A and B are shown apart, each in its own frame.
Chain A
Amino acid sequence: MSSETYAINDVKTRELEGPIASATEALGPDNGVRMRVDELSVYYGKVQAVKQVTLSIRTHKVTALIGPSGCGKSTFIRCLNRMHELTPGARVEGKVLLDEQDLYGAGVDPVDVRRRVGMVFQKPNPFPNMSVRENVIAGFRLNGVRDRKTLDEVVEKSLRGAALWDEVKDNLQKSGASLSGGQQQRLCIARALAVNPEVLLMDEPCSALDPIATAKIEELIHELKEQVTIVIVTHNMQQAARVSDFTAFFYLGELVEFGETGKLFTAPEKRQTEDYITGRFG
């Protein structure tokens, strides 16, 4: 896809362009847009944390969300699989479309949404009461799948997918909590992959990890985008530059700039973006 196409569809803030020209654009893997967020606003009580954000998330690409602390990027990513609803007092306006379906539409079950849009969190959170194997198949098992052969296949495939198989294959029965931090995070990625999500959300997945473990996860992200669409929140601009194809810069709840990562980091259109990525604030 050429960069001109992106320019039409992606770089949008409400102030700039008013109603979104491409709101009727067809979704789906075929034309390369997996998710589309339309005028999304999020409130905590009366405080508005995310302000009318519109952007498209492209299939089998990595989209990075950057911005200073409190800019709404974590809140935003949690809206993409309705995890945000778990926060008391939170309220969402606008649309989040996955393929053709509005995730916030009437009759859409959040449980279903989360099966299709997986999530990896800031702190590795393997289930401490389960072994490595049980952790990986937790989504399957708790959803009622029991067949041992299927489960064994899922375990190996997911752990390979998360580049953890070689390290744990000899002892799948040991506790998930006994792994190192980086391994735990990859176990969480394997667990998320096991249910075969269409989109994988990663909320600062490396912020609790050392540089070597971080490098492994970043390498993994590169490989994973072959099979899944990835959205990643990161505090680390170098990381965004290294792993992502598209970058969205959030500031004070607004989407300031969104575009190809290479372009955004080398020739940002907005002054705020430039100030942030050159380290003048944030």
Chain B
Amino acid sequence: MNRHFRFRKFVEWANWVGMLCCMSVSIFFLVAILGYVLVHGASYIDWEFLTAMPVPAGETGGGIANALVGSFLVVMVASLMALPIGIGAAIFINEFPSHGFGRTVRFLAEVLTGVPSIVVGLFAYALVVVPSGGFSAFSGSVAYAFIMVPIILITAQEALRLVPDSLREASLALGIPKWRTIMGVVLPVSSRALITGAVLAISRALGEAAPMLFTAFGNSFWNVNLTKPIATVPLLIYTYATGPYDDWHQKAWAASFVLLVVVLLTSVLTRAFLRGNSDE
């Protein structure tokens, strides 16, 4: 009896230790990545790095201002395209259910999230760059939008699915037309989850370098013209990290750090904003 009890306690303990180990390993990688980038990158960050233009290879100093602005611009234009399309599609398949069709769209969206981003880049190259005759910031936005749409669609549909049908019925029973029910009740009630999904998609796009290789292409000079090649932070990291100069490697680390901070800040601020709203 007593031995049996002790054995059960041991099993309990062993399981606990096992799970603790799994947890530690996963946390370790997160902390290691953050720490490594912090150690290598943070020391290089100063005001000049954030606000200055890149200098010619070999010279020290300079910054990544053009890439920061470029990333912001390309992702913003991508969001302007991807958010209405993704949320609109989610509304369509969730609020106007048709047998099997919605599930097919959802399945395709899930497949699309698994498409390698380099392939997305190639597709945007064929779709925009070739017909328009040159690399451009806009083609980069199209590539990013392709990555964002399925993420937004899936998270938005989950968000809409969580809105209880009783609220739709309450609205329809008041003689409120369906589209007003969607705009006035369904979307506001699910807004938090919709925003979270949008931020997830934006964060994902902010960090993608591969789709930029043959779309936005990169640019060592200042550019805010969407029809011209533009620098973006992830692509700049790729270029600097694979380049031959030690100074470039330093800059790649520093840019990585900046990118990480931007992504973290975006999601932390969004969470804080959403939590603040919920306290009303």
Pick the contact of A138: B171, B177, B191 (CB < 8 A): B171
A5 at the binding interface (Cβ < 8 Å): no
Whether B174 lies near A142 (C-beta < 8 A) is yes
Q: Are A121 and B170 in contact, with the CB atoms below 8 A?
A: yes
The answer to the question of A58 belonging to the interface, with a C-beta cut-off of 8 Å to chain B, is: no
- Encoded as 1 (CB less than 8 Å from any A CB) or 0, chain B from 160 to 199 comes to 0000101111111111110011001100110100000000
Tell me the bound Cα distance from A79 to B185 in angstroms. Answer: 23
In chain A, positions 105-144 with a C-beta closer than 8 Å to chain B are 111-116, 118-119, 121, 123, 125-129, 138-139, 141-143
Determine chain B's interface SS by DSSP, over half rule.
helix
B180 and A142 contacting across the interface, CB-CB below 8 Å: yes
Task: Report the Cα distance A246→B189, complex, angstroms.
Answer: 39
CB neighbours of B175 from chain A (8 A): 111-116, 139, 143, 195
> Number of A residues whose C-beta is below 8 Å from B?
29
| Chain B residues whose CB sits within 8 angstroms of the CB of A195 once the complex forms | 174-175
User: What chain B residues lie within 8 Å of A121 (beta carbons)?
Assistant: 166, 169-170, 173
Interface size, chain B (Cβ < 8 Å): 22
Please name all residues of chain A whose beta carbon is closer than 8 Å to the beta carbon of B177 when the two chains form the complex. 111
With beta carbons under 8 angstroms apart, the residue of A112, A119, A127, A175 that contacts B189 is: A127
Once the chains are docked, how many angstroms separate the CA of A195 from the CA of B173?
11
Q: Are B189 and A128 in contact, with the CB atoms below 8 A?
A: yes
Interface string of A170-198 (1 = CB under 8 A from B): 00000100000000000010011001000
Whether A127 contacts B173 in the complex (CB less than 8 A), given A88-B97, A142-B180, A175-B280, comes out as: no
Bound CA span A121–B168, Å: 12
Q: State in angstroms the CA–CA spacing of A207 and B173 once bound together.
A: 19
**Residues of B close to A252: CB separation below 8 A:** none
Report which of A81, A118, A129 forms a contact with B185, defined as CB distance below 8 A.
A129
Q: Which of A125, A129, A143 contacts B170 (CB 8 A)?
A: A125
Nearest A residue to B183 via CB reads A142
Question: Are A125 and B174 touching (Cβ within 8 A)?
Answer: no
- What's the Cα separation between A188 and B167 when bound, in Å? 11
Task: Give the number of residue pairs across the A-B interface with Cβ within 8 Å.
Answer: 73
A86 contacts B172, CB within 8 Å? yes
**Given A88-B97, A123-B166, A129-B188, do A192 and B180 touch, yes or no (CB 8 Å)?**
no
Pick from B167, B169, B174, B180: contact of A86, CB under 8 Å = B169
- Separation of A139 and B166 alpha carbons in the complex (Å): 16
B-facing residues in A137-156 (Cβ within 8 Å):
138-139, 141-143
Q: Which residues of A contact B166 (CB under 8 A)?
A: 121, 123, 125
The interface residues of chain B lying within 8 Å CB-to-CB of A127 are 167, 170-171, 185, 189
Give the distance in Å from the alpha carbon of A111 to the alpha carbon of B189 in the complex: 22
In the bound assembly, the distance between CA atoms of A81 and B169 in angstroms comes to: 12
Report B-chain residues with C-beta under 8 Å of the C-beta of A129.
185, 188-189, 191
By beta carbon, the residue of chain A nearest B165 is A86
- In the bound complex, residues from chain B placing their C-beta under 8 Å from that of A113 are 175
Asked if B185 and A114 make an inter-chain contact with CB atoms under 8 angstroms apart, the answer reads: no
Contact of A192 (CB < 8 Å), options: B164, B174, B185, B189: B174
B98 and chain A: residue at smallest CB distance = A88
Do the beta carbons of A118 and B174 come within 8 Å of each other?
yes
CB-CB under 8 A from A119, the residues of chain B are 169, 173
In chain A, what residue has the closest Cβ to B181? A142
A139 touches B176 (CB 8 A): yes
Given known A-B contacts A129-B189, A138-B184, A83 and B172 have beta carbons under 8 A apart: yes
Expressed in whole angstroms, the Cα–Cα distance for A141 and B176 within the complex equals 9
Cα–Cα distance between A99 and B171 once the two chains are bound (Å):
24
Q: Are B172 and A139 in contact (CB under 8 A)?
A: no
List B contacts of A123 (CB < 8 A). Answer: 166
Partner of B171, one of A112, A116, A128, A142: A142
Say whether, besides A121-B166, A123-B166, A125-B169, A138 and B188 are in contact (CB < 8 Å). no
A73 nearest CB across to chain B (Å)? 17
Q: Tell me which residues across on chain B come within 8 A of A126, comparing CB atoms.
A: 170
Measured between alpha carbons, how far is A115 from B175 in the docked complex, in Å?
A: 4
In the docked arrangement, what's the CA distance between A142 and B280, Å?
A: 23
The answer to whether A83 and B184 have CB atoms under 8 Å apart is no
- Docked pose: A188 CA to B173 CA in angstroms: 11
Q: Which B residues are in CB contact (< 8 Å) with A139?
A: 174-176
* A175 to chain B: closest residue by CB: B280
- Shortest A202–chain B CB gap in Å is 11
Indicate the member of B164, B167, B173, B175 with the most A CB atoms within 10 Å.
B173
Q: A117–B189 Cα gap in the complex (Å)?
A: 25
List, in ascending order, chain A residues with CB within 8 A of B191's CB: 129
Of chain B, the residue at the smallest CB distance from A139 is B174
Which partner residue on chain B sits nearest A88 by CB separation? B97
Known A-B contacts A111-B177, A138-B184, A142-B184; the reply to A125 vs B167 at CB < 8 A is yes
A-B contact pairs, 10 of them (CB 8 A): A111-B177, A115-B174, A119-B173, A121-B173, A125-B164, A127-B189, A129-B185, A138-B176, A138-B184, A142-B184
Beyond the given A86-B168, A86-B169, A111-B177, could you list 10 further A-B residue pairs with CB under 8 A, ordered by the A residue number?
A83-B169, A88-B97, A115-B174, A118-B174, A138-B171, A138-B184, A142-B174, A142-B176, A142-B180, A192-B173
